Amino acid sequence: VKSLTKQFPLGKQWFKEKKVVRAVDDLNFSIQKGETFGLVGESGCGKSTTGRLINGLIKANEGEIIFDGENLADIPDRKWKDYRKRMQMIFQDPFASLSPRMKIKDIVMEPLEVHYPNMSKLEKQEKAKKLLEICGISHYHLNKYPHEFSGGQRQRISIARSLILNPELIIADEAVSALDVSIQSQVLNLLVDLQEEFNLTYLFISHDLSVVEHISDRIGVMYLGNLVEIATKEQLFKDPKHPYTQSLLSAVPQLGESKKERITLKGEIPSASNPPKGCKFHTRCPFAMDICKQKVPENRNIEEGHTVACHLYE
């Protein structure tokens, strides 16, 4: 992802001056094949918009999304069909994304009807049955409807559906956020097993750092549309550099580290339609200096695989 930017118009446009929200503002990062890249930040920071841009559900204003050598920000709509097969999304609320009047076997095989109209019904059913079994839903339940399942089972059904076209990239947006903690880890473990079995790459979006820690190889931290820090999971949790990352981490209780100093942020998250100048975090940062109010900090590489955008490291 290179210089990716997405603006949304704001409210009614009866003023001469058009107001916009820069939901995603000049993002740069990459995801390696086979890895899990976690994207974390408070709600409204642009994580979901990033996922939807990569998946083509919405179009970017600027920037590139290079997938297997092709810039998806540039391709015509008709070519998107092929890429839709290769990347799939899983959402937070499986109840909203599973049609209530369809049997789960039909829900899971539906993408095949669209992409492989000539495949026989039997073959489609067999594929759906196999994937549901792999995802922990027995074939005894094939003819049941979504409301007959628990939240965790429904998420397993939507995961099975997301796999039916053999995708390479899965974009999971708050995929376990609606589930109880004990169920969360079961679903996360399922995703880890599936990654191995099907050679999947994940973009895993969540506001919850402990969930992101569980599953990610590398993590990007977002604040008001910017990626403020990117690091491996180990680097980020051992030695977070950006004051915002430090504050997020200090809010997560960790075993055996009860004495760790807690960084509490001043104030509320500013409105994305009118973000602070310079470093967007300066209104809440305990280390803010004069330069932070004037100048946008650039992304800097501070060690192999670890970048941070903060004037403290210049």
Which residue type, as a one-letter code, is found at position 210?
S
105 vs 282 by CB, closer to ligand SF4: 282
Residue 240: CB minimum distance to ligand SF4, A: 12
Q: What does 285 interact with, of Mg ion, ligand SF4, none (CB < 5 to 8 A by kind)?
A: ligand SF4
Distance CA 67, CA 51 (A): 13
Residue 297: CB minimum distance to ligand SF4, A: 4
- Residue 252's contacts (CB-CB under 8 Å, 6 or more residues apart) are 209, 210
164 vs 292 by CB, closer to ligand SF4: 292
Q: What does 48 interact with, of Mg ion, ligand SF4, none (CB < 5 to 8 A by kind)?
A: Mg ion
Residue 31: CB minimum distance to ligand SF4, A: 25
Token pair in block for residue 141: 């339940």
Distance CA 98, CA 145 (A): 9
Q: Which residue is nearest to Mg ion (CB)?
A: 48
Q: Which of 89, 112, 216 is nearest to 159 (CA)?
A: 89
CA dihedral sign of residues 231, 235, 237, 240: negative
Residue 275: CB minimum distance to Mg ion, A: 18
Q: What does 281 interact with, of Mg ion, ligand SF4, none (CB < 5 to 8 A by kind)?
A: ligand SF4
Q: What does 279 interact with, of Mg ion, ligand SF4, none (CB < 5 to 8 A by kind)?
A: ligand SF4
Bridge-partner residues for 206, per DSSP? 40
Q: Which of 227, 180, 224 is nearest to 203 (CA)?
A: 227
- Residues in contact with ligand SF4 by CB under 6 A are 242-243, 279, 281-282, 285, 287-289, 292, 297, 310-312
Q: What does 187 interact with, of ligand SF4, Mg ion, none (CB < 5 to 8 A by kind)?
A: none
- Residues in contact with Mg ion by CB under 5 A are 48
Q: What does 127 interact with, of ligand SF4, Mg ion, none (CB < 5 to 8 A by kind)?
A: none
Q: Which of 195, 197, 242 is nearest to 216 (CA)?
A: 195
Residue 203: CB minimum distance to Mg ion, A: 13
Residue 226: CB minimum distance to ligand SF4, A: 10
Distance CA 53, CA 4 (A): 9
96 vs 289 by CB, closer to ligand SF4: 289
Contact yes or no for 6/56 (Cβ under 8 A): no
153 vs 206 by CB, closer to Mg ion: 206
Q: Which of 131, 84, 73 is nearest to 104 (CA)?
A: 131
